[in-house]
């Protein structure tokens, strides 16, 4: 890995971050708050939230097995995705490398931040070699994006190839593990200390059933987390989100049960789809969804929409012609989908 100072944008490295009222007395007890121009009425919503979400990070640390100092919390995973560009990529100069197809926000954020996006096509098994990814790198490549399990394909990328990328690239490697709770593969966040150039993303939106609260996570070295904290908005995680996340984290065993049920339903749905005359192939998956190649994805999608059943049409995504992406729902929802397709 290059020295972090060489990877961070010079203006970001030199940035003096905004110092919020809550930051300035941090570490000391206080009971009268006359510092932040808040209204003293309408408690508890009148007060600004903890800008560094320390209580929530401590709770997450116990569940995720990552020290609190190595955790950044964002407004969904999209915030740490966007911050990666803002921290590391000089607009109009730097570039990033990513697999294709994958989660669309990596490219959207690249376009927003005027950063060249270099997509490298997966093979017919939706896998890629480190050699192919690293061949796309030049002196202006700051980030390599990987998503495992990948979206929309559902499969986990080969671990040995991910490690080769991390070890073979001098810049930042970001591995999005949004769906890792549904996979038997050990998440890379458990190996964070071995790779100073690694950022691992995770979210409360999937296995934890908390998409509405918009809470994403980035796990990285203390040094990278410090850069993220310099650039983020002072109170990026509101109090309601922090409170609801803490409530959810009190019962991780319920989440384990949800995952178990969803995995059982995933197996049932994959088997059922494989028997449909209109389904040509179901691809392997380690996520709470699967990708299926159909006889005519657009017509089938339109047919389902007319019946009030919404899935994701991936027909126009590279390597996904005539493919539909199906999220695993409740047994009742899944049965309704199957019934409609059997009548198609």
Quick check: 277 pLDDT over 80? yes
Q: What percent of the chain has pLDDT over 70?
A: 99
Confidence of residue 28 (pLDDT cuts 50, 70, 90): confident
Q: Residue 323: which domain range?
A: 253-343
Q: Please write the tens of the pLDDT for every residue from 233-257.
A: 999 999 999 999 999 999 999 999 9
The per-residue pLDDT for 27 is 63
Q: Please write the tens of the pLDDT for every residue from 179-237.
A: 999 999 999 999 999 999 999 999 999 999 999 999 999 999 999 999 999 999 999 99
Rounded Cα–Cα distance for residues 203 and 80 (Å) = 11
113 with 100, same domain: the answer is yes
The per-residue pLDDT for 23 is 74
Rounded Cα–Cα distance for residues 126 and 120 (Å) = 11
65 with 213, same domain: the answer is yes
Quick check: 21 pLDDT over 80? no
In a domain, 28, yes or no: no
Contact 190, 297 (CB under 8 A): no
157 with 183, same domain: the answer is yes
Domain boundary among 230, 250, 270: 250
Contact 122, 319 (CB under 8 A): yes
Q: Between the CA of residue 145 and those of 220, 251, 263, what are the distances in Å?
A: 15, 32, 27
234 with 307, same domain: the answer is no
């Amino acid at each position: 890995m290059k020295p972090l100072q060489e990877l961070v944008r010079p203006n970001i490295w030199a940035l003096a971050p905004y110092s919020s009222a809550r930051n300035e007395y941090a570490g000391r007890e206080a009971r009268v708050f006359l510092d932040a121009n808040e209204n003293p009425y309408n408690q508890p919503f009148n007060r600004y939230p903890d800008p560094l979400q320390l209580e929530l990070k401590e709770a997450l640390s116990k569940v995720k097995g990552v020290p609190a100092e190595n955790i950044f919390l964002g407004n969904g995973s999209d915030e740490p995705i966007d911050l990666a560009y803002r921290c590391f990529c000089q607009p109009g100069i730097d570039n990033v490398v990513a697999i294709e197809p994958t989660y669309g926000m990596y490219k959207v954020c690249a376009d927003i931040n005027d950063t060249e996006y270099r997509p490298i096509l997966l093979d017919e098994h939706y896998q890629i070699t480190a050699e192919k990814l690293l061949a796309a790198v030049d002196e202006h490549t700051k980030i390599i994006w990987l998503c495992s399990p990948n979206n929309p394909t559902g499969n986990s990328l080969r671990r040995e190839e991910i490690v080769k990328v991390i070890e073979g690239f001098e810049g930042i490697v970001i591995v999005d593990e949004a769906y890792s709770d549904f996979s038997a593969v050990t998440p890379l966040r458990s190996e964070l200390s071995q790779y100073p150039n690694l950022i691992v993303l995770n979210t409360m939106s999937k296995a934890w059933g908390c998409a509405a609260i918009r809470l994403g996570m980035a796990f990285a070295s203390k040094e990278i987390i410090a850069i993220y904290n310099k650039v983020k908005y002072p109170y990026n995680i509101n109090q309601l989100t922090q409170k609801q996340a803490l409530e959810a984290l009190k019962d991780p065993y319920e989440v384990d049960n949800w995952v178990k049920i969803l995995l059982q339903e995933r197996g049932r749905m994959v088997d059922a789809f494989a028997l449909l005359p209109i389904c040509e192939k179901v691809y392997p998956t380690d996520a709470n969804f699967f990708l299926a190649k159909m006889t005519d994805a657009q017509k089938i999608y339109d047919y389902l929409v007319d019946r009030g059943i919404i899935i994701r049409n991936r027909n126009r995504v590279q390597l996904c012609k005539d493919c539909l992406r199906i999220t695993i729902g409740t047994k009742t929802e899944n049965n309704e989908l199957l019934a409609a397709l059997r009548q198609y």
